[in-house]
Structure 1
Amino acid sequence: MNQIRFGTPFYLFIIGLLTFILLLPSLIVMPFKNDVQQNASPGKLEKAETEAPIVLNSEVDVSVYKTSAKKIETLPLEDYVKGVVAAEMPADFEIEALKAQALTARTYIIKMLLNPADMNLPEGADVTDAVIHQVFKNDQELQKAWGKDYEWKIKKITQAVKETEGKIITYDGKPIDALFFSTSNGFTQNSEDYWSSSFPYLRSVESPWDKDSPKYFHQQAFPVDVVESKLNVKLADGEGEVGKVLSRTKGNYIDTIEINGKKMSGKDIRVGLNLKSSDFSILRKGDEVIFQTRGYGHGVGMSQYGANGMAQDGNNYNQIVKHYYNGVEITDTQAYTSKLTASN
């Protein structure tokens, strides 16, 4: 019988065929594997990259509605924080106080971006530049306001923001309502003593540094008829002290006061007459009523002049923040900014 002989090309064909069969499963799976990676949700991609630091400036933007210009300005998060610190706290304050202010500003906007409030904002805006949110000034506005002092002031503000970059204030793992104000009467207030909500981190604490603030004491005089009209009360005839304080808050602000038989809250009087504080005394002299106030602002959260006094005493921003906000932690924003970038 003749033997069938196979040449070299036939053996090469057989080897190639076997190789193809062995590689076939990988060739089939590979395109699907690549397709799964490209179509994974942003949240999963962020989760897979959580160990890598997030560069906030390139990942989270803030859209600010400029109330005067009536237009929206969008800028990186840290630039927004810089504009808030520059607008809300004097640049000649201690650097550690400015750092504490940077934390409050960043915490506020992160919380607002995560939980947008229905405040009739123009479409596309995250926040306004007004006091209803946080006062914000862009670089052009700061140059105009500061003039020849711009260079040293912006350098100092930038340092404070940079040295706290990516950090916010949290309580029980969530960003806090980082309320602040100018000057206390020597104590801050419990949140429920001024507003209806009680927060465990917004407790009354001592703030003795405020007595050195130029805004600690203020006097305002009003015509009698203006006071009667705005407060809807009739003042008794004669001169001297007006009203009887019935109760005070834990922070020693007026809780309830009675004026000629009418009971009112200290907050209502402050708001009605636009007083600097709800810790006040009232004196009538002739056709005028004189209000003497102690402190400047609502008194809840961090006192700015108190923060500066603490810094002058050698406290750092961590100590300042934890004095004014009870039981809080200073936390990296990575987990929170990941949620924001994943939703975009």
Structure 2
Amino acid sequence: MKEARVQLKVPLAPRPGMQGSEENLIQDAEKDRLNPEKKRGTPLQIAKVQIVMGSKQETAHAKRGGLSTEELKQEATEHINIPLIELDAFRKVKRRRMRAFGHRHRWGRHPGRWQPAVAVSALLVLAICIPVILVWPRAGEQVKSTPASTGVNAGTGLQSPNPVPAVPVSYPEPKVRVYLSATGTTLELPLETYVTGVVAAEMPAEFELEALKAQAIAARTFIVRRLAANDTSGVPSGTADVTDTISHQVFIPPDQVKADWTRLGKAKEWEKLQQAVRKSRDAVMTYQGRAITASFFSTSNGYTENAEDVWGNVVPYLKSVASPWDKQLAPGFEETITMKRSEILQKMNLDAIPVSADKNGSWIKVLSTTKGHRIKEMQIAGETFSGPEVRKRLGLRSSQFNWRTTGDEVQITTYGYGHGVGMSQWGANGMAQEGHTATEILKHYYTGISFGQASKMLASKQGK
């Protein structure tokens, strides 16, 4: 807005001493007129010049009219020339205008010092705002979210391709060929159906659900290992993968199990068995990417065995661990049988007891024990045998036993039931009663194992 200019007519009376400087004022005015480049005087000086010049003209005119000096002064006072004075900065008006338009000095006495800082700040604000304005969604547009960068380039500033959602891959269910020893025929059925028949034959249905699930995973792992290796050892015909006996895993056809259990009023047990297999579906135990030898047995003596103490081969995941639950739960934890000395010698393929051993009464003695507190080696009638060998020949429930001789009879007391390697079934039930899951049970009895997918491991074999 342009400034308003105020024009006032102010009568200026001559002051004492003004006449003495009239000549100088006129000369200065003439210089200013001749030198326009020179800075103009103040409005008051201009007014003085105009007054002096007017007075000179009046004096000269009066002299031409024959007037005296006093008369000229009086006439000059009455008819003084009133010049036009422009006041550019009339203070009161300017203050009102400043208040009306909000003009204030914001930058102190030296505004020039702040100008570079203001300019830099303005540039920074523009640099931030312009990109935001460019990418700001227009009316009616939807805001598209950008997924966070993942992968090896995350955090490096390089753009990575958007990750493709993983699509679950399904594999065909493997088939199992079972040799039925009762009929000499081979039955082919899906893997999960086979596992159902094994769990029904190998573990009491009254056991806890988590124990049944652990048994299902162990049974599935056992057969998957054989299928992956094309192992048909121990099968009479050679056209099946496994038998239905204790040589591999005891198996009962599920249709037969369902009919028998329904007739016996065990429909709930049948449903729980199916639930255990369904909830553990396709899961197997692995070690270094391969299915393990998932051996199991009925009852421990309080500990499991190292594989090398029973089978002679070191297996890293079949190590001796404590199993204290068996003694509290298993009804056949301790058992005593009586045998004749002649019967023992016959079963051990011994002719007779040496006289020296018979006189000392130590014809049976233990030489060493295993980490699982079972008999590792013992001597009978002067001959040395392993604990598992004696158990097998004499038909004992466990290789941990003691004896007492009375005349011609020997009373043998065993502790636990089974070879002792791998998972104890009664121990698994005890852990399940304490609230342990199937995964925790299996990781306790099989050292350092992981879990895999049976159908995936056998996909290449099934496709051939």
Alpha carbons 1:242, 1:283 under 8 Å: kept: no
Alpha carbons 1:266, 1:278 under 8 Å: kept: yes
Q: What CA distance in whole angstroms lies between the structure 2 residues aligned with 1:134 and 1:254?
A: 26
CA-based RMSD: 2.0
What do the CA deviations read for 1:288-312 (whole angstroms, capped 9, x no partner)? 2111100100000000000000001
Moved more, 240-249 or 178-187: 240-249
Residue 169 of structure 1: which of 273, 285, 288 is its match? Answer: 285
Moved more, 148-157 or 257-266: 257-266
Letter in 2 for 1:139: P
- If asked which structure has higher relative contact order (CA below 8 Å, sep 6+), I would say 1
Moved more, 61-70 or 141-150: 141-150
The residue that corresponds to 1:46 in the other structure is none
Moved more, 262-271 or 99-108: 262-271
With normalisation by structure 2, the TM-score equals 0.60
Matched, 1:321 2:442: yes
- Could you list the runs of 5+ residues in structure 1 that have no partner in the other structure? 1-49
Q: What CA distance in whole angstroms lies between the structure 2 residues aligned with 1:96 and 1:285?
A: 46
The residue that corresponds to 2:341 in the other structure is 224
Q: What CA distance in whole angstroms lies between the structure 2 residues aligned with 1:242 and 1:290?
A: 14
Matches within 5 A, 1:89-238: 89-117=203-231, 118-143=233-258, 145-146=260-261, 147-212=263-328, 213-233=330-350, 234-235=352-353, 237=358
SS of 2:299's partner is: coil
The residue that corresponds to 1:78 in the other structure is 192
The structure-2 alpha-carbon separation of the partners of 1:225 and 1:148, relative to structure 1 and needing over 3 Å to count, comes to same
Alpha carbons 1:142, 1:150 under 8 Å: kept: no
The residue that corresponds to 2:457 in the other structure is 336
Q: What CA distance in whole angstroms lies between the structure 2 residues aligned with 1:149 and 1:226?
A: 43
The structure-2 alpha-carbon separation of the partners of 1:270 and 1:81, relative to structure 1 and needing over 3 Å to count, comes to same
Q: What CA distance in whole angstroms lies between the structure 2 residues aligned with 1:91 and 1:219?
A: 27
Alpha carbons 1:83, 1:138 under 8 Å: kept: yes
The residue that corresponds to 1:261 in the other structure is 382
Moved more, 141-150 or 255-264: 141-150
Deviation at 1:258, TM superposition (A): 2.3
Alpha carbons 1:215, 1:296 under 8 Å: kept: yes
What do the CA deviations read for 1:243-274 (whole angstroms, capped 9, x no partner)? 22221001010011123433221111101111
Letter in 2 for 1:62: V
Letter in 2 for 1:197: N
Letter in 2 for 1:303: S
Moved more, 131-140 or 75-84: 131-140
Alpha carbons 1:223, 1:289 under 8 Å: kept: yes
| Bigger Rg over Cα | 2
How many equivalent residue pairs?
Answer: 292
Identity in percent: 43
The residue that corresponds to 1:285 in the other structure is 406
Deviation at 1:207, TM superposition (A): 0.3
Deviation at 1:173, TM superposition (A): 0.7
Q: What CA distance in whole angstroms lies between the structure 2 residues aligned with 1:120 and 1:79?
A: 20
